[in-house]
Structure 1
Amino acid sequence: MNSIHDIADYIISRVKAEDKNASLINLKLQKLLYYVQAWSYGINKKPMFDGGFEAWIHGPVNRDIYNRFNQTKYLYSEINPEDCVNKDVVLPTEDAEFVDFILENYLKYSGAELERLSHSEHPWIATRDGLGVNERCDKEISPELMKKYYEKKWQEINA
């Protein structure tokens, strides 16, 4: 299984390699990682990497990635290739293709748009269990919730 840090570094490298001026803020990186994991559960029935996501105020957040950038980056800070731990990360071909597929579909959105999108989806809403939009929550979004929701969405897309 991949490390979430390797997937994060792959995303950073891909985004910045294609366009050095492309925006990749911390918030957006978190949501892209979430969608990679969530769709992997829905399509492949297994996680893409180790690690889960908590249903925070600003949408799904992986605490390891949060902690990795917490000392130097804010929510809206730009993430750059210099922030990569593994600058030469190589993923298995199938995994790289999957991450690229997710990026093709989600990279066009801003961090704020991805936050709003995640706020409209069942896994985040159900995990927060009635909490207000600005109430803190550190409950983890269950893999089962992600699997059910994104598997159904995948079936609808392919119907």
Structure 2
Amino acid sequence: MAENVHDVASLIVTTLGDVDTMRLQKLAYYSQAWHLATYGTVLFPDEIEAWTFGPVVPQLYSAHRGAYGVRTWVRGDPRRLDDRSRHLVNWVLETYGQLTGEELSRMTHAEAPWRHARAGLDDSERSNEPIDPTVMKEYFSRLRMSPAEAVSAAVGNARLEGYELSASTAKQLGRIATGESSADDIVREILARYHH
């Protein structure tokens, strides 16, 4: 674990060089999310909030406020990260680092943790609602699952929310998860049953 988010930011900037601040924020967010999903613990203790343009760590924002980009990050020390945390952040940079801040922002808008924190708000409304680490862990853990595990988790989550899915629906979800069928194919099959 990092002492604080600045250690992670320092590693990101040291690795990538010039980084626009929106990209820095989203890479810190994805580092936290994947650390939660992989190791079950936070990478840094600082809160992440669901701002208009996606997840933002206020402690980072206060350090780069007014700057479009940064070249160095002297507030943190990447050496304070243990080997597995450093390895995970480097994996995040390899996976997401080529994307722009705007692309990363759009991705976060499509994902459950940001949407959950902003429930009931329009995308353009201001908010400083925290993003729940438990929701981050659950969402990103599902991305690591096999298709069978993902379907089982989805059926279980539906049950927790009061919905009972039939065996045929679970089978259809499995076909989507394995790539055997697309979601559009399944929707067409369902609609065809209602038209007969």
**TM-score normalised by the chain length of structure 1:** 0.86
Q: Which has the higher helix share?
A: 2
Q: Any gaps of 5 or more consecutive residues in structure 1?
A: 17-22
* 1:43-54 superposed matches below 5 A: 43-54=38-49
- Secondary structure at 2:50's aligned position in 1? strand
Q: Give the share of equivalent positions with the same residue, in percent.
A: 32
* 1:94-105 superposed matches below 5 A: 94-105=84-95
**Number of residue pairs matched?**
147
The one-letter code sitting in structure 2 at the alignment partner of 1:121 is E
CA distance in 2 between counterparts of 1:27 and 1:129 reads: 22
Q: For 1:34, which of 29, 32, 43 is the aligned residue? A: 29
| Match of residue 181 from structure 2 | none
Contact kept in structure 1, 2:52 and 2:124, CA below 8 Å: yes
* 1:9-88 superposed matches below 5 A: 9-16=10-17, 23-70=18-65, 72-73=66-67, 77-81=68-72, 83-86=73-76
Cα RMSD after superposing both structures: 1.8
| Match of residue 136 from structure 1 | 126
- Pick the structure with greater CA Rg: 2
Deviation string 1:46-102 (CA, Å, 9 cap, x unpaired) is: 1111112100000000110111111x41xxx12102x4224x631322211111011
After TM superposition, which residue ranges in structure 1, 4 or more long, deviate above 4 angstroms?
none
- Secondary structure at 1:109's aligned position in 2? coil
Contact kept in structure 1, 2:35 and 2:85, CA below 8 Å: no
Q: Of the two structures, which has the highest relative contact order with CA contacts closer than 8 Å and spacing of 6 or more?
A: 1
Q: Does 1:8 align with 2:9?
A: yes
Contact kept in structure 2, 1:12 and 1:84, CA below 8 Å: no
CA distance in 2 between counterparts of 1:113 and 1:64 reads: 22
CA distance in 1 between counterparts of 2:78 and 2:39 reads: 22
